[in-house]
Structure 1
Amino acid sequence: MNLSGGPACLKYLLFSFNLLFVITGVVVLCVGAVIQSYYHSYSYFLDDKFFSAPALLIAVGAIVLIVSFFGCCGAVKENHCMILTFSVLLLVVFILELSGGIAGYVLRDSARDFLKGKLNESMHKYDSSIETQEVWFGLQTTLKCCGNNNYTDWESVFHNTSLPLSCCPRSHGAVGTDECYINSTNIYEDGCLKKFGTYVMDHAATLGGAGIGIAFIQLLGVTLACLLARHIRRKYESVS
């Protein structure tokens, strides 16, 4: 059975959109994987909930690639069952992507308060934990920051004017003293809460935008698939 006119246009339009779905699936998967990797670098400071949204988008991206197969085959073969299956699966993907996007924005709103408590808690473990010293060294060196709100926060940890070496940048190859104090002239003045919070919130916003934006592209695919399935069913009914 060959469709003609409007239904034929729907058929080729749906097939074309499936190519777009493959691209969006790859994009969603890559966005989730990249942000998961970024968050993993600071997993000591982050809760499991920060990894759930990117993990969801990675899973959704993989599912989209599989779902697109049903759409392509159903459109080419004009198979009502496959197109209907494609519509249902794509609707599920839409819900998952929308959930991932909303989760990203929710994390963005709650990130700063969570990080403030986590950073403050870990600072007071600095003297007793080598792991804490290493993660703070990486955080302050990478983000060029010092302390939670600023470098004076370390006074409550060391109870003197000394600071972690990572609070004082040194030129490459320079021979300097292994000391860093509050009165040093080359201290990172920005607090890590500000910089790390911005880092996490920006990536959470990217997750939210990618999830919600692409979800509505998928919704258009659901609409096209449903229209095509209806036309195919009517064609079958008129033939029988």
Structure 2
Amino acid sequence: MGCGEFLVKYILFFANLFFALAGLALLGIGIAVELKVAAVVNFMEQNQMLQMTSISAIVLGSVVFVIAFFGCCGAVRESNCMLVTYSIFMLVLMVLKITLAVLIFVNLDSFLAEVPKWLNEAFAKDQQAFHELEQSLKCCGPTGASSYQNLVLPQSCCASTPCTIVNAYTSCNDVIQSFFSTFGLVTGAVAIGIVAVELVAVVFGLCLANHVRNRDRRAYY
């Protein structure tokens, strides 16, 4: 094995080891989010995209782990079949991540604009369920303490008692919009960054697969 082949092999191996760990982390985050906020997201039942977020994270984490496993095994075993399979799957995954990033950047503003409407509808429909949201996100009312039009507020609006306008949390609208704005932009940027790293991994995978195929051919002569 030449020096170049050795470097390509182990760079590919460690890159995919990182991807495998990242896939497991994404899987764990998806499961944790699904278990923790399943009851909270009920106030946005009409938003299918929000409800599918944790499930998508679980599926994507599993897929990333399986593809990275192919890459690790293919690099270590120098298997042409596994390396080619890995490269094809990685290219498909890259396209999906680019699509995801584009959808996030294009639809984020319109999604954020709908948040006040969903919060106002949820607040008017079931304030008790809204209190659970306030406790989880540490916020108060759709537009702040003024949403209740009372001097004494529910305890879910404050960290201490008595709960009044003075020590109330900020509005749930501000908290949720800030969260999704940051989450969306970071997710899109990270997806593009990962795609760039994956492109390098795909090139290395195809180079190693080509070397293995040529070496096997020479072995027949």
TM-score using structure 1 length? 0.73
Instruction: Please name the residue that 1:190 is paired with.
Output: 170
- Which segments of 5 or more consecutive residues in structure 1 lack a partner in the other structure? 126-131, 156-160
In 1, are the aligned partners of 2:158 and 2:169 still within 8 Å (CA)? Answer: no
Instruction: Please name the residue that 2:15 is paired with.
Output: 17
Instruction: Please name the residue that 1:165 is paired with.
Output: 154
Residues 162, 40 of structure 1: CA spacing in aligned structure 2 closer, same or farther, 3 A cutoff? Answer: same
Q: Root-mean-square deviation (CA), in Å? A: 3.1
Instruction: Please name the residue that 2:81 is paired with.
Output: 81
Instruction: Please name the residue that 2:4 is paired with.
Output: 6
Residues 223, 53 of structure 1: CA spacing in aligned structure 2 closer, same or farther, 3 A cutoff? Answer: farther
> Distance between the aligned counterparts of 1:17 and 1:238, measured in 2?
29
Of residues 101-110 and 54-63 in structure 1, the stretch that sits farther from structure 2 once superposed is 101-110
Q: Looking at secondary structure, tell me which structure has more helix per residue.
A: 2
Matched positions, count = 218
Residues 30, 215 of structure 1: CA spacing in aligned structure 2 closer, same or farther, 3 A cutoff? Answer: farther
Residues 31, 108 of structure 1: CA spacing in aligned structure 2 closer, same or farther, 3 A cutoff? Answer: farther
> Distance between the aligned counterparts of 2:8 and 2:83, measured in 1?
12
SS state at 1:43 partner: helix
In 2, are the aligned partners of 1:56 and 1:96 still within 8 Å (CA)? Answer: no
Residues 219, 24 of structure 1: CA spacing in aligned structure 2 closer, same or farther, 3 A cutoff? Answer: farther
Instruction: Please name the residue that 1:128 is paired with.
Output: none
Of residues 109-118 and 39-48 in structure 1, the stretch that sits farther from structure 2 once superposed is 39-48
SS state at 1:148 partner: coil
Matched letter for residue 211 of structure 1: A
Deviations 1:10-68 (A, max 9, x none): 22222222222222222332344445456535312331202334432321221222223
Matches within 5 A, 1:59-98: 59-98=59-98
- Which segments of 5 or more consecutive residues in structure 2 lack a partner in the other structure? none
Identity among equivalent pairs (%):
27
Residues 54, 96 of structure 1: CA spacing in aligned structure 2 closer, same or farther, 3 A cutoff? Answer: farther
Matches within 5 A, 1:114-129: 114-125=114-125
Matches within 5 A, 1:217-232: 217-232=197-212
